[in-house]
Structure 1
C-alpha cells in the first residue's frame, strides 16, 4: 500500500528522474553486451581489453569527481544535461572509429560503462535530487522504484541488443563488427532522447530549493526523528525558498561537516571493498565468459541478461520492505552474503544451465542491497552535503572498481577467467563483515526515521 502511495504521489521531477535512469541503463545494457566483443573484433588483445576497462573507469572517476563536487554550484540539471551530451558524442565516435586511443578517450568522456552499471556523475546527482524531493518515510519506496526502472532499462537494453545483433548478422548478413557499431548508434540516439528529457526538470531539483515544512536533516539531528511526514504534501503544500546564493554554496564546497567526516571514511571502506571485488568480474567480462565457456549466441546472451536484469528490477521492490523492517544494515548483509556465494559457485560449474541458474540467483539477491545502501547514506548524512557525499562514494567505488579489469584481462589471456568470480564473492563477504561490525547498531535509529506511524489513506 505504501509502495502504491509513493508511486502515485511522487512529484513530476522524481518521475522524470525515473525515466532518465531507465533510458540511461537501457543504453548501458546495449553496449555492455558488445563492448568486449567489439574490442575483440578490432583485434584488441584480452590484456589490452582489461587495460581499456581500467583506464575508462579511472577517467570516469576523475570526471565524476569534478562534476559531482561542484554539481550544486553548477546546477544539478546542468550537470545532467552536460552528461547526456557527452554520452551522445561518445556513441557516435564508437560507431565510426576503430582506433584504440580514440575509443578509450570517447569511453571516458562519454561514460561508456565497462560494467553495464552506473558510471559517471548521473547516479550521485540523481540520488541527491530524489532525497531532496522525498521525505524520509517514503525514501525506501522511491529509491526502490528508482532501482526497478534502472534494472528494467538494463534488461530491455540487453534483450534488444541480442536480437538486433543476431538479426542483422544472420538475416541481413552484416559483418559482426558493423552490427556492434549499430549498437553504439542506438546508444547515441538514447542519449539524445535523455538529454531532451532532462530539460524538463524543474528548479526544485536544485539544492537551493528547500522545503520549509518538512526539511530533512542528519540522523544526528534528532529533533525530527518522530516528525510526521506526508508525501502528499510534496509539490502541493510545500513552501519553497531559494538557497541564499551560489557564493554561499561555494564557501561550503571545500569542507565537510564533522558528521560526514566521521561516517564517510568508514562507509567508503565497505563500499570500496565491495566494488573492488566487482571490478574483477564486471558484467562485460561475465558476458565474455559465458560466450567463450558455453558458446552462447548473441540472442541467447541477450535473453539471459534480460532475465537477470528483469529479476534485478523486481527484487528492488521487496528491498524497500526489508530496509523498513530489518533496517538497512541487516538488509544489506542478509541479501549480499547469499548473492556472493551464488557468484562464487559459477566458477566451479561447467554446465551452462547450472551457470545461468546461479547467475539468475545471484541477480535475484544482489540488487536487494541497493535501496538499503541509499537509505543508510541519506539518513546519516546532512541534507546539504548529499550531492558531495554521493559523489565521493560513487567515485570511491568506481576507483576501486578500476583495479580489477586489468588483472581479469590477464586471467582471461591465461584461460583462468573463472577465478574472477571467486575474488568478487570473497571481497563482498569481507565487506559485509566490516559493515556489520561498524554499523549494525545504527539500524534502530534509522528505522525510527523511515517508519511511517500513520499512513495516509489511499
Structure 2
C-alpha cells in the first residue's frame, strides 16, 4: 500500500502523538531527539484528490532531522545553519592573521627562519589537537569540544592583545587554533566536517561543503582587507577582534542540538572499522604529500614572499589576498556544479592540475602585476578540491567512521604542512626566493597523479547508484 493511501477509509482526524514512544503513529523513521522533545521528521501533507481521507504522513528526506529544524530550507537544517554562522565568525579573524602574522613577527625582530619556525609550531600544535579529538570528541561530546576550542582561540587573542613580548605570539600559536594559511586547519574543521553530512540529504552533501567553504573564504576575505589597518591603528584592535570572535564562537556552538552528537555505540568506539582502515590510511598518505607542498605556500608565507620580493606593504598585501579569497570563495559553488557533472574525484584532480601550473608560473613572474594575476588565476581553481575532497571522504566511509576519518586525514595534512614553513623560511633567506613556490607546485602535481590513479574506481554511493559520472 502506497503512502498516498494511508488513512483510506478512515474518518478524518489528526494524527496522534505518542509521548512515550516520541513518534507519530505510522512513522517508521528515527525517533525524535530528547534535546528538542519534538516529533520525528514527518511532514503532514493533504492530498487534493483524497480530501476525505485526511492527512497523509510523508517522511521528510532530510536525514531524519526534526521538521521544525528545516523551516529555512530543506537542503540544510538548523544545526547546519549554526555551523555556517560560527564558521563565518571564526574565519574573519583568520583572514587578517594569515596576512599580517608573518609581518608582525618580522617587526618584533624575528628572522625569516624564526618566522618559519613559529608558523611551523603553530600548525603542529593544531595537528596535535586534531589528532586527539579524532578519538575522544565523540565520547566527550562534539558540542563541548567545539566550545572548548573556541575558548582557546579567545585565550590566544588575549595573549596577543595584552603583550608585545616575543613569547606572546609563540604561546598564542600553541594555545589557540590560529590558521596562518589560505585554508583552515585544526580541530574545528575535522569536527564540523563529520557533523555537516548529518544536517543535509546525501544529494546535497557537496553543496553543503561548498557553502561551508564559501562562507569561510568569504569571511576570510573581509578579514584580509582589515590587514592594512595596523598601519593606522596598530595591531592590538585586530587582536582584540580575534579574542571577541572566540567568545562569540563558544556562545554559538553552545546552541547546537544533541543531534550533531554521535550515537551511543559510535561514541564508545574510538578506532576505525576494518573496511575503512585501508581507505583512510591511503587517503592520509596522499593528503600528506599535498599538504606538505601546500605548507610551502601558506598565506603567511605567500604574503611574506610578496613583501620580500616586491616590497609590498600591509595595505597592498591585504587587498591582494582579499581578492584571492573572494575568487576562491566563488569557485566553491562552481565546484559543486562541476562535481555533479563529472564526479567528485575528477573535479578534485582536474581543477588542481592547472592551478599548480599557475603556481609554478608565479615564481617566474617578472613584475608584481603579472605575479598577482597569476596568483588570482591559481586561486580560481586551487581550492575547488576542498569541498569535493571533504564530501568524497565523508561519502566513501561509513557514518560511524566519519569523525575518525576526518580527524586522521586532517591530522596528517596538518602535521606534514607544519614542516614546510620552516623549510620555506630557510629557502627565502638562503636560496632563490622562488624555491618555495616551485617546490609546492611540483609536489602538488605528484599528488594529483597519485590520487587519480589510486581512487579512480572508488565512487561515492550517490554516483554508483546513478551509474555515473
Question: TM-score per shorter chain, which class?
Answer: 0.7 to 0.9
Partners in 1 of 2:161 and 2:445 — Cα distance? 39
Residue 366 of structure 2 aligns to a residue whose secondary structure is coil
The answer as to whether partners of 1:319 and 1:331 remain within 8 angstroms in 2 is yes
Deviation at residue 443 of structure 1 after TM alignment: 3.7
Considering fraction of residues, name the structure with more helix. Answer: 1
Matched with 2:417 is 401
Residue 113 of structure 1 aligns to a residue whose secondary structure is coil
The answer as to whether partners of 1:335 and 1:368 remain within 8 angstroms in 2 is yes
Partners in 2 of 1:416 and 1:394 — Cα distance? 31
Structure 1 residue 275 and structure 2 residue 291: aligned? yes
Matched with 1:81 is 147
Matched with 2:427 is 411
Structure 1 gaps of 5+ residues are: 169-178, 209-242, 453-458
Change (3 A) 1:45 1:297: closer
Among residues 241, 248, 254, which one is paired with 1:186 in the alignment? 241
Structure 2 gaps of 5+ residues are: 1-69
Residue 258 of structure 1 aligns to a residue whose secondary structure is coil
Partners in 1 of 2:466 and 2:427 — Cα distance? 44
Change (3 A) 1:103 1:303: closer
Among residues 202, 205, 208, which one is paired with 1:142 in the alignment? 208
Matched with 2:267 is 249
Which has the larger displacement, 344-353 or 181-190?
181-190
Among residues 129, 132, 142, which one is paired with 2:195 in the alignment? 129
Which protein, 1 or 2, shows the higher relative CO under an 8 Å CA cutoff with sep ≥ 6?
1
Partners in 1 of 2:466 and 2:147 — Cα distance? 32
Deviation at residue 446 of structure 1 after TM alignment: 4.9
Matched with 1:8 is 73
Deviation at residue 450 of structure 1 after TM alignment: 8.2
Change (3 A) 1:445 1:38: same
Deviation at residue 415 of structure 1 after TM alignment: 5.5
Q: Deviations over 1:167-226 (max 9, x none)?
A: 33xxxxxxxxxx123321211112222221111111111112xxxxxxxxxxxxxxxxxx
Aligned length: 398
Q: Deviations over 1:397-441 (max 9, x none)?
A: 000101111111111222633111111111110001111111112
Partners in 1 of 2:315 and 2:107 — Cα distance? 18
Matched with 1:201 is 256
Structure 1 residue 284 and structure 2 residue 284: aligned? no
Deviation at residue 445 of structure 1 after TM alignment: 5.3
Which has the larger displacement, 286-295 or 74-83?
286-295
Matched with 1:432 is 448
Structure 1 residue 119 and structure 2 residue 161: aligned? no
Aligned-residue RMSD, C-alpha = 2.0
Change (3 A) 1:349 1:435: same
Partners in 2 of 1:21 and 1:448 — Cα distance? 31
The answer as to whether partners of 2:225 and 2:318 remain within 8 angstroms in 1 is yes
Change (3 A) 1:415 1:180: farther
- Displaced runs of 4+ in structure 1, greater than 3 A? 98-102, 443-446, 448-452
> Superposed, which structure 2 residues align to 1:36-435 within 5 Å?
36-162=102-228, 164-168=229-233, 179-208=234-263, 243=264, 249-250=267-268, 252-253=269-270, 255-414=271-430, 416-435=432-451
Residue 319 of structure 1 aligns to a residue whose secondary structure is helix
TM-score normalised per structure 2: 0.81
TM-score normalised per structure 1: 0.83
Partners in 1 of 2:461 and 2:127 — Cα distance? 33
Partners in 2 of 1:397 and 1:444 — Cα distance? 22
Report the structure number with the largest CA radius of gyration.
2
The answer as to whether partners of 1:26 and 1:156 remain within 8 angstroms in 2 is yes
Partners in 2 of 1:446 and 1:433 — Cα distance? 24
Residue 8 of structure 1 aligns to a residue whose secondary structure is coil
Partners in 1 of 2:386 and 2:467 — Cα distance? 18
Residue 346 of structure 1 aligns to a residue whose secondary structure is helix
Partners in 2 of 1:184 and 1:415 — Cα distance? 33
Partners in 2 of 1:449 and 1:375 — Cα distance? 16
The answer as to whether partners of 1:137 and 1:451 remain within 8 angstroms in 2 is no
The answer as to whether partners of 2:395 and 2:460 remain within 8 angstroms in 1 is no
